Amino acid sequence: MKKILVANRGEIAIRVMRTAKKMGIKTVTVYSTIDRHSPHVKYADEAVLIGEAPSNQSYLLGDKIIEVAKAQNADAIHPGYGFLSENAEFAELCEANDIIFIGPKSHAIKIMGSKLAAKDAVKAYDIPMVPGTAEAISDIPEAKEIAKKIGFPILIKASAGGGGKGMRIVENESQFESQMDRAISEAVNAFGDGSVFIEKYVTSPRHIEIQVMADTHGNYIHLFERECSIQRRHQKVVEEAPSSVLTPKLRHEMGEAAIRVAKACDYIGAGTVEFLLDDDLNFYFLEMNTRLQVEHPVSEIITKTDLVELQIRVARGEVLPYTQDDIKIHGHAMELRVYAEDPLNDFLPSVGTLETYTMPQGEGIRVDNGFEQGMDIPIYYDPMISKLITFGKTRDEAMSLMLEAIDNYHIEGIETTLPFGTFVFEHDAFRSGHFDTHFVKKYYSAEHLLEQHKKEARIAALIAVNAYVKAQKLLRVPQ
């Protein structure tokens, strides 16, 4: 493997290319017209314009990306995450054109791309699952009867869904029909597939995922868990590894369960098995993500591994260089996704120019970044600017360093989730480890953040006044 095409943009494109260069592999990237001057274009050895700004005219053009790969003599394609990373047809297209797809085989993507197919695939592997329907359902009266048998509250979920789309919590029978209609409609609009299913709603759950890796020689390992319970609109914002609530026994059980899920679909490469954890520390299979996750850095840091390097080595047909016994947990890592969103306005996207953009630096701080000062934030893509990651010997140390890093991350011209990060990492519930996926709903509001801003402004004003008074006293001292 001498040359890899990275079919993505921003921080993940740079992240993949950094490892490729370290391994002595040349890189090609593609870009849209609006990304012409983006850092990932400058970082690549070669860059090719792929189309206009909208992703369906550029980064989602599988046929065109294959053409570029062949024209540039790329041996392999790394899809990053998002865009074509979980597109089974694109993986098949790579295979048909003798280009290595750095990811799982298309059949694994297909199975795990449907939540119902995934449940069906793992049911013979002794994987705990939330009580619910085993197949898609659209008959509302029949669905209501099933929901009554399962017991409210229940969750209606799109089979082809993700990111919280096509998902509805139903607290009681009277809400059922309207929420079912909405879930089906949203699923059709988002995925072109109105298939939904019903599950018992796990109250106060934690979202725990296990990183797995498998090679083509039948070897499987897991790299422990990530805690991903701090979410807004069912989207993760803060992640950490390891989780503060898993015991060694539970960690082992969940890791083994994740490997069984991977084996259920003959998985190859890096993947993530997601679980819900209830109040009594019972865990339930949620889904499998057949790609590198946004939050993979925290797993890399605590296990001292490079997951992209492992992906590339597996894609080249190499045997995994580690056994399960080789993988140990070292310290604690935290990640904050820095989004161009306004936490004072329901996390709506914030569009503008990065008038000031200075990233924090120092030991234990890592920033996976895709922007630079003076750039505009495009409206066409996910609004994530970067990922701020900190590492410490302990959880408290990682949190303390995170707060320091946020203070030293200077962004002007747009609103970002940095102040929200401060709110989370200073909050007693998060610091104690006693929180769940309802953290934002329970504790966060724009008013809380405004009050925090006012408090900080008052402190800054007092410091300024104190400094002024001291300066005046010094000026009055007779010479």
CATH code for the domain of 196: 3.30.1490.20
In which band, very low, low, confident or very high, does the pLDDT at 320 lie, cut at 50, 70 and 90? very high
Task: Examine the domain organization and report whether 28 and 57 are in the same domain.
Answer: yes
The CB density around residue 174, as the number of other CB atoms within 10 Å, is 9
Enumerate the H helices of 114-220 as residue ranges: 115-122, 140-150, 176-191
Task: Examine the domain organization and report whether 241 and 188 are in the same domain.
Answer: no
- CA 83 distance to own-chain centroid: 14
Task: Examine the domain organization and report whether 248 and 196 are in the same domain.
Answer: no
In which band, very low, low, confident or very high, does the pLDDT at 27 lie, cut at 50, 70 and 90? very high
**For residues 219 and 291, what is the distance between their CA atoms, to the nearest angstrom?**
18
Mean pLDDT within 158-166: 74
Name all contacts of 149-155 with Cβ < 8 Å and 24+ positions apart: 150/198, 150/199, 150/200, 151/200, 152/201, 153/201, 153/203, 154/198, 154/199, 154/200, 154/201, 155/198, 155/199, 155/200, 155/201
* Residue entry with tokens 């993507």: 109
- Residue 413 has a pLDDT of 97
Cβ(211)–Cβ(272) below 8 Å: yes
| Residues involved in catalysis | 291
Task: Examine the domain organization and report whether 195 and 212 are in the same domain.
Answer: no
In which band, very low, low, confident or very high, does the pLDDT at 336 lie, cut at 50, 70 and 90? very high
Proportion of the chain above pLDDT 90, given as a percent: 79
- Look at residue 138 and tell me if it is in a domain: yes
The number of folded domains in the chain is: 3
∠ CA 276-240-164, rounded to 5°: 45
Two tokens at 413? 């011209």
- Residue 165 has a pLDDT of 74
Mean pLDDT within 280-302: 96
Domain span at 84 = 3-102
Q: Is the pLDDT of residue 450 over 80?
A: no
Helices and strands in the chain: count of H runs, count of E runs: 16, 20
Residue 1 to residues 4, 51, 58, 356, 378, Cα–Cα distance (Å): 7, 27, 25, 39, 33
Task: Examine the domain organization and report whether 336 and 441 are in the same domain.
Answer: yes
**pLDDT (tens digit per residue) in 417-429:** 999 999 999 999 9
In which band, very low, low, confident or very high, does the pLDDT at 138 lie, cut at 50, 70 and 90? confident
Task: Examine the domain organization and report whether 250 and 354 are in the same domain.
Answer: yes
Stretch among 71-80, 188-197, 350-359 having the lowest mean pLDDT: 188-197
Task: Examine the domain organization and report whether 407 and 385 are in the same domain.
Answer: yes
The bridge status of strand 220-232 relative to strand 167-170 is unpaired
User: Can you name the residues that pair with 319 across neighbouring β-strands?
Assistant: none
Task: Examine the domain organization and report whether 226 and 374 are in the same domain.
Answer: yes
